[in-house]
């Protein structure tokens, strides 16, 4: 054991004093010894500062040349381990610097290595990233460490480091699918909704941009409502880099989506979120970055084409899917409901399910009021829809809002309940009339008429 430690110490001394070219020679000729020394010292030294130094040395070594990750893969293969198995346990350490240096190294090994991280290791790492990006680490004084509570600025830096690990991972197509499977998109939108700093905004939107390079994932991103989150930030953005990455993400969503319907859904969502108006304002400004100018032009053309084909039902559907209901003209249009009420049954009642879901989860009085109003209009113009609303739990949800603290919510909930109850009687009348007119000659109805 003493000989091994002496060997490791001698090697690390030689490596420390070597210049860049000499280090490359050492790594080429003694790659196995290098990996073994780094990992031995990391595992057997108890002093935290020394562990931090070794991790920094490893990180710098990999950063200088991405191919150097292979020395760890070669060593791991001989010891029948995975390259990241030496670093994953360090994510549970007390010291945040140690934890995040280990996280950076894991990301580099996973992204640059010849083998993909898979299974429980990948799930563990992605779950760790999600926990670090959670809102409790974005606000307040930050987590406890061995040295006490860290400051908000330190916490912010560490969260940005975690975001950087995710950015690196999502450059690999296979990891994009794994991240979406792990409900990672909801994690990203939650961070963006938390009014985080512009740097973290940029990093999270960069991740959306990367995910949108995979056509199959564009449909999933649509279901996670990324467009409203990005449009809100675009409206308030004062940083050109944030504006640039949002425009690039929007372009990817419209350009990379495999299905025409998905592309149209994205265009409608952007129109609904007032992106077209924002683009017109951005077009008036001058940019040094040609990509911004080109993306603005592309988006204006695509959204302009979609506006020409936009029907009132498309507009309504897009607004509903955005989850941001407002008193736009279609809600109060008698003509709209007369022509389109039955269309809410399409795609296995997709839009009705969204309406009832909004009644259940939204805390915005306007959204609840409009949703209650729309359910009332649906059953008024399509009486048989009452049964559908009951089966979806919509009737009870509307009734619950009759006691809401907001007057407009109470009013629209009451009207909707009245329409639901009235149509209950209409259904009986329509059923009775249907029996009369479907009766065969010689029946009681016809006998009564002939007498």
CATH number of the domain encompassing residue 296: 1.25.10.10
* Together in a domain, 340 and 225: no
User: What are the mean pLDDT values of the chain's consecutive 10-residue runs (451 residues total)?
Assistant: 65 87 90 91 87 93 94 92 94 92 97 95 96 67 46 80 97 97 94 90 97 91 89 92 96 91 89 91 89 95 84 89 89 93 96 97 96 96 94 96 96 95 55 44 36 31
Count: domains in the chain: 3
Please tell me the distance from the alpha carbon of residue 446 to that of residue 451, in angstroms, as a whole number. Answer: 9
Looking at residue 150, what is its pLDDT?
61
Looking at residue 450, what is its pLDDT?
35
Please tell me the distance from the alpha carbon of residue 226 to that of residue 236, in angstroms, as a whole number. Answer: 16
* Together in a domain, 397 and 446: yes
What are the structure tokens assigned to 436, written together?
Answer: 């009369």
Looking at the domain assignment, is residue 306 inside a domain?
yes
What are the structure tokens assigned to 125, written together?
Answer: 């790492």
What are the structure tokens assigned to 296, written together?
Answer: 């603005």
* Together in a domain, 298 and 338: no
Please tell me the distance from the alpha carbon of residue 206 to that of residue 210, in angstroms, as a whole number. Answer: 6
Torsion of CA 203, 205, 206, 209, to 10 degrees: 170
Looking at the domain assignment, is residue 181 inside a domain?
yes
* Together in a domain, 165 and 53: no
Looking at the domain assignment, is residue 317 inside a domain?
no
Looking at the domain assignment, is residue 109 inside a domain?
no
* Together in a domain, 408 and 305: no
Nearest 5°: phi and psi at 65?
Answer: -155, 110
Place of tokens 């670090």: 132
* Together in a domain, 253 and 195: yes
Please tell me the distance from the alpha carbon of residue 419 to that of residue 47, in angstroms, as a whole number. Answer: 73
Nearest 5°: phi and psi at 120?
Answer: -65, -35
Place of tokens 């259904």: 427
Please tell me the distance from the alpha carbon of residue 117 to that of residue 112, in angstroms, as a whole number. Answer: 11
Q: What CATH code is carried by the domain that includes residue 408?
A: 1.25.40.150
Q: How far is CA 33 from CA 8, 36, 61, 72, 95, in A?
A: 8, 5, 14, 10, 28
Looking at the domain assignment, is residue 98 inside a domain?
no
What are the structure tokens assigned to 121, written together?
Answer: 């290791």
Looking at the domain assignment, is residue 316 inside a domain?
no
* Together in a domain, 306 and 369: no
Please tell me the distance from the alpha carbon of residue 327 to that of residue 319, in angstroms, as a whole number. Answer: 11
- What is the distance, to the nearest Å, from the Cα of residue 429 to the centroid of all Cα atoms in its chain? 48
Please tell me the distance from the alpha carbon of residue 388 to that of residue 384, in angstroms, as a whole number. Answer: 8
- Give, rounded to a whole angstrom, the gap between the first and last alpha carbons of the chain: 114
* Together in a domain, 173 and 282: yes
Among candidate residues 262, 277, 310, the one where a domain is terminated: 310
* Together in a domain, 130 and 11: no
Q: How far is CA 142 from CA 99, 101, 115, 135, in A?
A: 14, 18, 35, 10
8 Å CB contact between 180 and 220: yes
- CA-wise closest residue to 341 among 298, 302, 293, 389: 389
What are the structure tokens assigned to 203, written together?
Answer: 């990093």
Relative to beta strand 144-145, strand 148-149 is: antiparallel
Looking at the domain assignment, is residue 79 inside a domain?
yes
Orientation angle between helical segments 198-211 and 184-192, nearest 10 degrees: 150
* Together in a domain, 124 and 268: yes
Place of tokens 């941001």: 324
Calculate ∠ Cα 304-262-318, nearest 5°: 65
Q: How far is CA 423 from CA 92, 101, 352, in A?
A: 60, 64, 17
* Together in a domain, 164 and 291: yes
Instruction: Note down the domain range covering 442.
Output: 333-451
Residues 6+ apart with CB under 8 A from 198: 237, 238, 239, 241, 242
311 C-beta neighbours (distance < 10 Å), count: 9
Torsion of CA 28, 30, 31, 35, to 10 degrees: -150
- CA-wise closest residue to 94 among 151, 162, 42, 145: 145
Looking at the domain assignment, is residue 104 inside a domain?
no
Looking at residue 149, what is its pLDDT?
53
Looking at residue 135, what is its pLDDT?
56
* Together in a domain, 149 and 41: no
Q: What is the CA radius of gyration of the chain?
A: 30
């Amino acid at each position: 054991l003493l000989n091994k430690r002496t060997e490791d110490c001698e090697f690390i001394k030689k490596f420390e004093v070597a210049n860049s070219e000499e280090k490359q020679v050492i790594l080429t000729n003694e790659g196995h010894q290098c990996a073994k020394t780094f990992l031995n010292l990391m595992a057997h030294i108890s002093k935290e500062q020394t562990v931090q130094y070794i991790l920094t040395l490893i990180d710098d070594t990999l950063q200088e040349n991405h191919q150097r990750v292979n020395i760890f893969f070669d060593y791991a293969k001989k010891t029948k381990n995975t390259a990241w198995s030496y670093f994953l346990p360090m994510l549970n350490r007390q010291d945040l610097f140690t934890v995040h240096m280990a996280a950076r190294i894991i990301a580099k090994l996973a992204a640059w290595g010849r083998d993909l991280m898979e299974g429980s290791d990948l799930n563990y790492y992605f779950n760790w990233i999600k926990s670090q990006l959670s809102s409790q680490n974005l606000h307040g004084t930050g987590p406890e460490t061995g040295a006490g509570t860290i400051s908000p600025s330190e916490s912010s830096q560490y969260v940005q480091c975690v975001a950087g690990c995710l950015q690196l991972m999502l450059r690999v197509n296979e990891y994009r699918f794994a991240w979406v499977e792990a409900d990672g998109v909801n994690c990203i939108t939650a961070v963006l909704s938390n009014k985080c700093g512009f740097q973290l905004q940029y990093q999270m939107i960069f991740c959306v941009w990367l995910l949108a390079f995979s056509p199959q994932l564009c449909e999933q991103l649509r279901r996670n409502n990324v467009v409203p989150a990005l449009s809100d930030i675009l409206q308030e953005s004062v940083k050109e880099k944030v504006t640039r990455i949002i425009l690039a993400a929007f372009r990817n969503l419209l350009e990379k989506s495999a299905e025409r319907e998905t592309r149209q859904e994205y265009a409608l969502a952007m129109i609904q979120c007032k992106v077209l108006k924002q683009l017109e304002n951005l077009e008036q400004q001058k940019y040094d970055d040609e990509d911004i100018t080109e993306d603005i032009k592309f988006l204006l053309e695509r959204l302009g084409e979609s506006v020409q084909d936009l029907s009132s039902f498309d507009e309504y559907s897009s607004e509903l899917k955005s989850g941001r209901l407002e008193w736009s003209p279609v809600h109060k249009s008698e003509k709209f409901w007369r022509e389109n009420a039955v269309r809410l049954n399409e795609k296995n009642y997709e839009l009705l399910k969204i309406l009832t879901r909004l009644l259940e989860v939204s805390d915005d009085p306007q959204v609840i009021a409009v949703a209650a109003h729309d359910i009332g209009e649906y059953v008024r113009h399509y009486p048989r829809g009452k049964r559908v609303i009951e089966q979806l739990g919509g009737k009870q949800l509307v009734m619950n809002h009759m006691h809401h603290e907001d007057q407009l919510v109470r009013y629209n909930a009451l009207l909707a309940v009245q329409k639901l109850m009235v149509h209950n009687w209409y259904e009986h009348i329509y059923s009775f009339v249907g029996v009369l007119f479907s009766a065969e000659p010689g029946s009681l109805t016809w006998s009564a008429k002939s007498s």
